[in-house]
Structure 1
Amino acid sequence: MNFDHSSKVQDLMAKLSTFMDTEIYPIEEHYHNLVASSTDRWQTPQLMEALKDKAKAQGLWNLFLPKEYLPHGAGLTNLEYAPLCELMGTVMFSSEVFNCSAPDTGNMEVIAKYGTQAQKDKWLLPLLNGEIRSAFAMTEPEVASSDATNIETSIENKGDHYQINGRKWYTSGAMNNNCKILIVMGKTDPSAARHEQQSQILVPLNTPGVTVVRPMAAMGYLDEPIGHAEVLFENVKVPKENLVLGEGRGFEVAQGRLGPGRIHHCMRLIGCAQRALDMTCERVENRIAFGQPLSKQQSVRESIAQMYCKIEQARLLTLKAADNMDNYGNKVAKNIIAAIKIVAPKMACEVIDEAIQIHGALGTSQDTILSATLAYARTIRLADGPDQVHMMQLGKNLVLGRNKKL
């Protein structure tokens, strides 16, 4: 594996870093104040559109899309995208500026990979252009949704249309006023084989029978203006042509979606952790305790050293996972993807928690990003599959793989 970035990636990193320094960091606090003071908490501030226009003009747009989707993106591999995604992860809202935010990235990949031409024309192009946002409706309150075969939402074939009934929650993105389309996971045939019962279908958010019940807080944060919604589907009629790939193919689509999505979260979390470390290094030089800067305290130095080590370990594992995905495909790379999904969120939780400890009361306040990023990192230990599921499957794969060699 080559750890040297290509000249193309180095140029993009330099452009993105300059953009963050000149356009994002200076308005970060202002952006959050606009959201907090808005009469509509789910309306994205208008300045986001101006930032998007600037990003497009500089070629910093759809950076996550691989070469098969040119000319709509930068045509990068997972490995090439990693340092860029990490940098975007240092600010909670910045990924949207470059049209690289979840769940839109995963949804765009699903429609691009599995969608019909009509689905691409109607939904993919507006998403690629950053004109609308989307949501992915999978998790349900009544079942353990980490096992997708538990999903109870029904997608019934009614001849000329499908009828959907069920309740979802933590449908990220569905609270935002610009969210126009949902990808819904449900069961079309409960009597089929375990992994052939599920299907995915495109549901416009304004379809009769779709009700956004309430926003769901994640660790006390509502994540305005994007949000995580509880959504009720009551006799929702959707055209048959909205089905993705085919009946019984939902699990297949989900697995195809989650590989890149999982590693993108890990890349962003490394950015969150790196910023927490950078903030801590600045804090300890300027904060005086017991007659000297905190940086002179041995325990503080040890904490910072440990934070650095944890970030570097997770970063290297993430890069290896990205390289494996590029060279061997997501299926072959499943073990290393599972490993990084286990390691990175836990690492970020530990590093950000230590940064809060060193910042003291300031670290728990609204005057830094630390508490919000800790909530994000902790939530990702559940999103896209909880740690325990990944550990269970990874352990099983390793044992079976070992036994096959004996």
Structure 2
Amino acid sequence: MNFDVSEEMTVRLEMIREFMDREVIPLEGEMLHGDDATLAEGVAAAQAKVKQMGLWAPNHPVEYGGLGLSMVDHGLFAEAVGRSPLGMSVFGTQAPDAGNVEILHMFGTNEQHERWLRPLVAGEIRSCFSMTEPNTAGSNPTLLETTAVLERGEWVVNGQKWFSSSADGAAFAIVMAVTDPDAPVHRRASMIIVPTDTPGFGLVRNVSVMGHAGEGWASHAEVIYQGCRVPEGNLLGPRGGGFAIAQERLGPGRIHHCMRWLGIAQRAFEMMCAYANERVIEPDGSTLADKQVIQHWAAELSAEIRSARLLTLHAAWMIDRHGAKAARDEISAIKFTVANTMLRAVDTAIQVHGALGVTDDTVLAYWYRHERAARIYDGADEVHKSSLGRRIMRRAAPVG
């Protein structure tokens, strides 16, 4: 196992960190308090500079305009840009587009590559992933109710989805729907590309999360599919392959999330330490940083973040060398470990900031609202712990 960073990647990371501090983090004020149109202009300007620097879409295929980074290198990149809620969008690797690029590249036809993949990597369009349903367990995609029936060369899609993130303004959705209800449970569903201008595609609302309903790329939409008709050729991958494709998408996607969460944790930690050193709390000039309890929090968080980083890099290393299936244990472990580390870092930073921490004068409250879902999406903590624990117990069981 070797996590040495190449000279080329070291230079890229230095450029990214400097760019984040100079160009991206200053946009957060506009995100928290400003005008959406002004923010969009700022993000677009930053994206143009990223493209000029040759750092656009680092994890996407080279032949379609990306840098084709390994999973380990992409993990390091994701941590660097994860320091800001705007980082992934500015560099063209935001969810759900990043995951959709991966499965379109792996399973799409040449026609699908040209129509959807190429403009998606270029940032000319956005997409959404439409799997989760309000009436079924999101952690078990074998329970889907949405259906797609093949009629005279067209798929007819009917059903209700929600948390189709970024559906607001997306050009297309990749919809997971039951195409073979009588097949074995893991072969019932397929993935189908549905342009959002298709008659019968209805964006009902952007779901309000913790008191805030986002718009555009920051939205979590409820969508109704009512007799949506798309060509048979819009099937992504083999018929009945939806579950397998979802696993291919979600495994690497969890690496992306975990490294982004580490970026959040690290910045929250740095904000906590900086504020603790600035905040005078005694007439003699002593600060929060002089208090033993704050020192203990700093020591514990530093150790947790470093441990979570190494665990995540090891999972990325496993995927690079042996594939996502062989790294199932490592992926499950980082999903619940890193999510909780990140949330502890944000919560502790808020506590140290006191009243300031719960305001929108810093980015901490934004993360507290928006990242609590980290313990739920892409598999709830409890699901990952159960599946990992079950595999561990089976391996430890006596033969026979």
Give the TM-score normalised by structure 2: 0.96
Q: Where does residue 193 of structure 1 map in the other structure? A: 184
2: distance between equivalents of 1:251 and 1:189?
Answer: 12
For residue 342 of structure 1, report the CA deviation from its aligned partner.
1.2
How many angstroms does 1:405 deviate by? 7.0
Tell me the equivalent position of 2:303. 309
Structure 2: unaligned runs, 5 residues or longer = none
Q: Matched residue pairs, number?
A: 397
**Gap change, CA 1:15 and 1:282, over 3 Å in 2:** same
> 1:73 maps to which residue?
66
Q: Is 1:51 the equivalent of 2:46?
A: yes
**1:287 is the counterpart of 2:279:** yes
1:239 CA drift (Å): 0.7
Aligned to 2:58: 63
1:182 to 2:173 alignment: yes
Shift of 1:144: 1.0
Does the 8 Å contact 2:145/2:177 carry over to 1?
yes
Equivalent position amino acid for 2:3 in 1: F
- Tell me if the contact between 1:44 and 1:225 (Cα under 8 Å) persists in the aligned partners: no
CA contact (8 A) 2:336 2:385 kept: yes
1:229 partner letter: A
Output the amino acid matched with 1:123: W
Asked if the contact 2:24–2:86 (Cα under 8 Å) also holds between the matched residues in 1, the reply is no
User: Contact 2:30–2:39 at 8 Å: present in 1 too?
Assistant: no
Q: Counterpart of 2:277 in structure 1: which amino acid? A: E
Per the TM alignment, residue 161 of structure 1 is displaced from its structure 2 partner at its CA by 0.2
Q: CA deviation at 1:110?
A: 0.8
Aligned position for 1:377: 371
More divergent stretch after superposition (181-190 vs 3-12): 3-12
3-state SS of 1:208 partner: coil
Structure 2: distance between partners of 1:385 and 1:143: 13
Distance 1:19 1:101 in 2: 17
CA distance in 1, matches of 2:138, 2:148: 17
Secondary structure in 2 aligned to 1:170? strand
Letter in 2 for 1:16: I
Given candidates 190, 194, 211, the residue that maps to 1:220 is 211
- Contact (CA 8 Å) 2:335, 2:381: kept in 1 or not? yes
Question: Is the 2:83–2:266 contact (alpha carbons within 8 Å) kept by the matching residues of 1?
Answer: yes
Contact 1:161–1:239 under 8 Å retained in 2: yes
Partner of 1:364: 358
Tell me, in whole angstroms, the C-alpha distance in 2 between the residues paired with 1:404 and 1:245. Answer: 40
1:198 counterpart letter in structure 2: A
Query: Structure 1 counterpart of 2:68, which letter?
Result: G
Matches of 1:316 and 1:223 in 2, distance apart?
33
Pairing partner for 1:163 from 156, 165, 177: 156
The equivalent of 1:25 in structure 2 is 25
For residues 321-340 of structure 1, the aligned pairs below 5 Å read 321-340=315-334
CA contact (8 A) 1:199 1:250 kept: yes
Q: What's the counterpart of residue 263 of structure 2?
A: 271
1:48 Cα deviation from its structure 2 partner: 2.0
Determine if contact 2:32/2:360 at 8 Å carries over to the other structure: no
Post-superposition offset of 1:404: 7.4
Q: Within the alignment, does 1:126 sit opposite 2:119 as a pair?
A: yes
Distance 1:386 1:305 in 2: 28
RMSD of the TM alignment (CA)? 1.6
Deviation at 1:217, TM superposition (A): 2.2
**2:106 corresponding residue in structure 1:** 113
Is the CA contact (8 Å cut-off) linking 1:24 and 1:94 kept in structure 2? yes
> Aligned to 2:197, what secondary structure does the other structure show?
coil
Query: CA shift at 1:30, angstroms?
Result: 2.7
Give 1:198-209 correspondences, 5 Å limit.
198-209=189-200
Q: Aligned pair in 2 of structure 1 residues 146, 361: CA closer, same or farther (>3 Å)?
A: same
What does 1:146-157 correspond to in 2, within 5 Å? 146-157=139-150
Amino acid at match of 1:268: R
Identity of aligned residues (%): 39
The residue identity in structure 2 corresponding to 1:56 is: K
Give the aligned residue type for 1:182.
A
Q: Which amino acid aligns with 2:137?
A: A
More divergent stretch after superposition (229-238 vs 368-377): 368-377
Deviations 1:117-145 (A, max 9, x none): 10110000110110111100011001112
